[in-house]
Amino acid sequence: MDKIRNPDTSLTAADVMTHDVISVQESISATEAAQFLISKSICGAPVVDDQGHCVGIFSAVDFSRIAQTLPEQDAALEVCPYQSHHRHVDGCDVTLCTLPAGKCPLQRPETEEGQARNTCRYPHEIVVEWQSFEPKLLPTDPVKRWMSAVPITVDSKATLAECAARMEQARIHSLIVIDDDHHIVGILNTLLGLDAVAELALH
């Protein structure tokens, strides 16, 4: 009964995390990293060294930082011009991406009534034009120069309560789960945590 009243006290990151982790090598170029993220339809991934240690994270936030260093680039747009607002059949409003599939790392492929479409993962993010069309304009030096070098991680043995506190403190929705050797063993996000607590409570 105590576990049902306080399910997060018995669950750990290892119990809840997904083992399906997409990462990039620190030695590849920023261009290659950006193209890889776009191909996977994700907006960020952990960065690992040759030994598989987590050394950073490379995401759309870093893309925006790089954009400021590129010559002859327009300033960030106040509103993304490639967004279109749409009302779902269930009455919920969604933001569609009008760019072709795979052209922006913020796209999320979805299907509505048998029709494929792309929604925007972060409709309030400021996206610059080079990010949407020309990842090849990114620098060719290693991604480790541009990544965020202090990733937010959590030990696989950390309780769900500790993980929640870590996310709240860092104001993020996911954590990189590592083992004692600092190797990535999984990813934990708020949805996985809520699903695990709900399932345990039902039992």
| pTM metric for this prediction | 0.62
Question: Per residue in 110-148, is it b (16+ CB within 10 Å) or e — as a string?
Answer: eeeeeeebbbbbebeeebbebbbeebebbeeebbbebbe
Q: What is the pLDDT of residue 97?
A: 85
Q: Report whether pLDDT(178) > 90.
A: yes
Residue 76 banded pLDDT, cuts 50, 70, 90 = very low
If phi > 0 it is left, if psi is from -120 to 50 it is alpha, else beta; for residue 182 that is left
> Which letter does DSSP use for residue 159 in this model?
B
Containing H/E element for 123?
A: none
pLDDT exceeds cutoff 90 at 6: no
- Which pLDDT score is estimated for 8? 46
State pLDDT tens for residues 26-48: 999 988 888 888 777 777 899 99
Q: Is the pLDDT of residue 5 over 50?
A: no
The predicted-structure confidence for 102-152, as pLDDT tens digits, reads as follows 777 677 888 877 788 888 877 765 554 444 445 566 678 899 998 988 889
Q: If pLDDT is split at 50, 70 and 90, which confidence band does 194 have? A: low
> Which residues are 87's β-sheet partners?
93
Asked if 132 contacts 77 with a C-beta cutoff of 8 angstroms, the reply is: no
At the second CATH level, the architecture of 1-17+156-203 is Roll (3.10)
Segment among 52-61, 166-175, 190-199 with least mean pLDDT: 190-199
Q: What is the pLDDT of residue 85?
A: 81
